[in-house]
Structure 1
Amino acid sequence: MLPIWLTEDYIQTALRAFYKDDQLQVIKLWAKPATEKGENFVGVMTRIYVDFESGDGSVKNMSYILKQGVPSDAPQAKIFKEYDVYNRELEMYDVVLPKMSQILEEAGFTDKLMAKAIIVDRSRTIMILEDLAPLRYTNADRVKQLDLTHTKLVLDMLAKFHAAAIILNQREPDLLRHNYASHFFSRGKEGYGEVFAGLFRAFIRYVKTKPDLNSRYGAKLENIVTNLMDYAARSVDVDEKDLQTLVHGDCWTTNVMYQYDDEGNPTTVLPIDFQFSTWTSPVVDLHYFFSTSLQTDIKERETELVQYHYYALKRTLEVLNFKGVFPSLFEYQLQFEKRRFQSVIIANTFQPIMVYEGCEDPDFVNLYQDTPSGIKFQDSMYENKEIQRRIETILPILDAKGFLDAH
C-alpha cells in the first residue's frame, strides 16, 4: 500500500531530477513490503516498482526502496525520536555518505559505499533508495553467521568507511561533530536504558537457571544492572589519546549486503542502515560486529581480526594522504580492550535476538518488557544451544578481565 502522497507525479519529479531527464514520464507505480515482521524495528521499508519512459523513448521497469520511520503510535517511536535516528540517516544519505564516497573515488577505490539516494525528503522524513537486489546484493544468513571470508570483507569495508570519515572531518571539521554525538549508550537519554536493562534482566534470568553459572556470576551480574548504561557509555567515550572517526554504529549481519561470484564466494560488501552512525572510536564498530555476527571459531580470532582492521585502516589512510597521528598496533589493541564491556551487553543480550529462530512474537516491546508475552519471548531466546555455549565461554573471560566487577 503506497502512502497517499507517493503519487506518480511525486515519483516522476524525483526520477527526473535523479536521472537528469526532464522528459521522463512515469507509466505505472505500485508497491510491496520489503521486509517481514520482526526484521526491522527502526523503520518501514517498501519496495516500489516504477515503469517509466525516458526522454530517448526507451521504457524501463525499475524498483526502488522507500524507507520511512515507524508509525508514530509504535511503541519504539518515542525511543527513535529521542535519539533522532531518522534525521541522522537522512543527513547521512543526503550529505555525509556522498562526500565520503567522493573521497574514496578520488583515491581510486571503486567499491560502492552506499545505495544511491533517488530522493531524500526531509519534510516527510523519508528516503527513496536504489534497490540493491537487481545489482545482486543480498544478506548473508544471520543465523549461520559469518565465516572468515565474509568477515574480512566487512573489516575492509569498515576500514574505508572509517578512513573516509577521518579525512572528511579534516576537510570539514564541523560536519560530523553535532548530529553524530548520540549512541545506543548515550548519557542523558532514557529510551535505550530501559531496553538494555530489560534485556539484561532476561539474561540474568537465564543465568539463574544454571546453578554453576549463577553461583559464580549471578551476584556480579545483579550488581551491574544498577550501573549498566554508565559502564556501557564509558565504552563509547573517547579522549585525545583515542583514534576517532564516524562509525557505522549498527554493523551486523543484516546491515551489510554482499555480492557473490558464480561459485557462491562473496566478492564485495556494502553497508546499509545508518541511523546510529556516531563520532567515536572505530573499535566500537569492531566490538559490535564481532559480538553479533561472527561464527564461534571466527570470534575466537578476535585479536587477529583487530590487527587485520588496523592494517586495512592504516593502508587506506596512507592512500588518502592522511597526515595526522595514527596509533601503534599495541595502542589500538588497548583501545579495543578497554571497550570490552560492550561484549557484556551486546554478546549476551543483542546476539540472542539477532540469531533468533523461535516462534514467539518478535514485537519490539517483547524484547525487554516484563509482560507475560515479553518474558516468554525473552526466555525463548536463550533456548538456542549455541547461545548457551557462548555464554558459558564468555562469562569466565569477562570475569577474568574484571568487567563483571564494579568499575
Structure 2
Amino acid sequence: MLPEWLTEEYIQKALQRFHKDNQLRVQKVWAKPATEKGENFVGVMTRIYVDFVQGDGAELKKSYILKQAVPSDAPQANIFAEYDVYNRELEMYDIVLPKMAKILQEAGFNENLMAEAIVVDRERTIMILEDLAPLRYTNADRVKQLDMVHTKLVLDMLAKFHAAAIVLNQREPHLLSRNYASHFFSRGKKGYGEVFVGLFRAFIRYVKTKPSLKNRYADKLEHILTNLMDYAARSVDVGEKDLQTLVHGDCWTTNVMYLYDDEGNPTTVLPIDFQFSTVTSPVVDLHYFFSTSLKIDVKAKELELVQYHYYALKKTLEALSYKGIFPSLFEYQLQFERRRFLSVIIANVFQPIMVYTGSEDCEFINLYQDTPGGIKFQDSMYENEEIQRRIDTILPVLDAKGLLDAH
C-alpha cells in the first residue's frame, strides 16, 4: 500500500520537523486509498494513519493525506507532465500559499487558505498534508450542486485568494512569473487539446441526436471544433487593462471543503488541489466555478454573483492596503463577459463528467478517446436529464451572444 521509501523513520523525521519536537516517536503506520476510482485523475491519494508519542508523553493518533503523481504508465501521465502540474502544486504548498496566508494575516484575516503541509518532498514529487476529514471538513454534493449560501462562501474565499495573490505579485513579481503561465488551454501544449477536442466531439454527437438542437447548432459547433483551443486560449489571455492575479484554476465542488455548524449550515470553506493555479484574470475562476458547481437557480443570478465577488475582492484589497489599478464594476463585468466562451466548453463538456452518476467505466482515457469504451462512456454522460435541460437552456443563450459564430 505504501511506497517502500515511506517508512516509519521517514514519517517520524517529518513529524519531528513539523512539530519541532525531536523526542517525538512514531509507533505505528498504516494506510488505505483516500479516493474511489474515478474521483481523482490527476494524482494518487492515500490516507496514512499514524500513532505517535510526543516528547511530553502525549499519545496521538492522526491521519494524513499522501499525494503522489499518477504512475508513469497511466494514460494521463504524459499530459500532466507536459503541464508540470505536480511541481506547481508542490511550490504552491511550500512557498506561495504560506506567503499569501501571511499577507492576509497581516490584515487580520485568519481563515486558512490550505491544509497544513507536513511534508513537501520535491525529490520524490510527493506531499503529506493534514487530513481535513477529522477536522469535520467535507465536500458538498457534486451532483446536487451548490445553493446560494455555499456559493457565496466560495466567492468570499476566492476574493481573499485573489487579493492576497495580487499583493504578493506586487511584492515579489518574480515569484509568480515562473511556473504559473500554463493552463488547460495553453498555446504550444497539446495534451489538453486532445482531451477537450474529444470531449467536444462527444457533445456534438449528443446535439445531433436531438433534431431541434441539430438543425440550429450542429454546423456551428462543428466549426467551433476546428478552432476550439484557440477560442479558449483567448478567453484566458489578459490585456494591459485587465485585472490579473493567481487563480485557483480548478475551483469546483470537489475542490472546496466546507465546515458546518450543528444546524448543518456551512460556515467555512477551504480550497484544495492547486495543480492548475495560473496567473490570469480572476473571472476565469468565476466562469469555471459557475459552469461546474451551481444549482440552476443560483447560476441564473450570475450577474449578481460577479458583483458580489467584485465587492468582496475590492474590500479585501483595501484591507490589504493595495496600491494599484482596480477596475470599475462595469469594467469587471465586461472582463467577465469577454471570457464567456469558457462556459461553452466548461458547461457543455466538463460539467457532464463532474455530475456523472452512471455505471460506465470512467477511466481517464474514456473521457475523450473514440474507442468503443470511450464512446459508450461519453454518450452515457449525456443521458442525465439535468444536463440535457441545461444544454437546452444554454445553447440559445450562447448563440444569441454570438459565441457559436466564427470570432
How do 1:295-334 and structure 2 match up within 5 A?
295-334=295-334
Amino acid at match of 1:12: Q
Other-structure match for 2:216: 216
After superposition, give the CA deviation of every residue in 1:4-30 in whole Å (9 maximum; x if it has no partner): 000000000000000000000000000
CA distance in 1, matches of 2:239, 2:119: 37
CA distance in 2, matches of 1:300, 1:183: 27
CA distance in 2, matches of 1:142, 1:6: 33
Secondary structure of the structure 2 residue equivalent to 1:41: coil
CA distance in 2, matches of 1:296, 1:44: 32
| Pair 1:110-2:110 in alignment | yes
Secondary structure of the structure 2 residue equivalent to 1:227: helix
CA distance in 1, matches of 2:317, 2:259: 25
Give the C-alpha shift of residue 58 in structure 1: 1.0
Secondary structure of the structure 2 residue equivalent to 1:176: helix
Secondary structure of the structure 1 residue equivalent to 2:175: coil
Give the C-alpha shift of residue 227 in structure 1: 0.6
How do 1:5-44 and structure 2 match up within 5 A?
5-44=5-44
The TM-score, its normalising length taken from structure 1, stands at: 1.00
Secondary structure of the structure 1 residue equivalent to 2:47: strand
The TM-score, its normalising length taken from structure 2, stands at: 1.00
CA distance in 2, matches of 1:126, 1:86: 8
CA distance in 1, matches of 2:99, 2:323: 19
Amino acid at match of 1:247: V
Amino acid at match of 1:384: N
| Pair 1:343-2:323 in alignment | no
After superposition, give the CA deviation of every residue in 1:265-309 in whole Å (9 maximum; x if it has no partner): 000000000000000000000000000000000000000000000
Give the C-alpha shift of residue 106 in structure 1: 1.1
CA distance in 1, matches of 2:188, 2:25: 49
Amino acid at match of 2:55: G
Other-structure match for 1:149: 149
How do 1:194-343 and structure 2 match up within 5 A?
194-343=194-343
CA distance in 1, matches of 2:260, 2:57: 34
CA distance in 2, matches of 1:54, 1:178: 39
How do 1:73-112 and structure 2 match up within 5 A?
73-112=73-112
**Runs of 4+ that moved beyond 6 A:** none
| Pair 1:184-2:184 in alignment | yes
CA distance in 2, matches of 1:305, 1:105: 26
Other-structure match for 1:170: 170
CA distance in 2, matches of 1:113, 1:270: 6
* Structure 2: runs of 5+ lacking an equivalent: none
CA distance in 1, matches of 2:264, 2:230: 44
CA distance in 1, matches of 2:172, 2:110: 23
CA distance in 1, matches of 2:283, 2:142: 22
Secondary structure of the structure 2 residue equivalent to 1:279: strand
Secondary structure of the structure 1 residue equivalent to 2:109: coil
Give the C-alpha shift of residue 178 in structure 1: 1.6
Secondary structure of the structure 1 residue equivalent to 2:343: helix
Give the C-alpha shift of residue 192 in structure 1: 0.2
| Pair 1:359-2:359 in alignment | yes
CA distance in 2, matches of 1:133, 1:376: 35
CA RMSD of superposed structures (Å):
0.4
How do 1:133-148 and structure 2 match up within 5 A?
133-148=133-148
CA distance in 2, matches of 1:341, 1:234: 9
Identity %: 82
CA distance in 2, matches of 1:114, 1:95: 12
CA distance in 2, matches of 1:319, 1:106: 10
Amino acid at match of 1:169: N
Give the C-alpha shift of residue 67 in structure 1: 0.3
CA distance in 2, matches of 1:226, 1:160: 38
Secondary structure of the structure 1 residue equivalent to 2:57: coil
| Pair 1:369-2:336 in alignment | no
After superposition, give the CA deviation of every residue in 1:249-276 in whole Å (9 maximum; x if it has no partner): 0000000000000000000000000000
Amino acid at match of 2:335: Q
Give the C-alpha shift of residue 158 in structure 1: 0.1
Amino acid at match of 1:165: A
Secondary structure of the structure 2 residue equivalent to 1:28: strand
Give the C-alpha shift of residue 134 in structure 1: 1.0
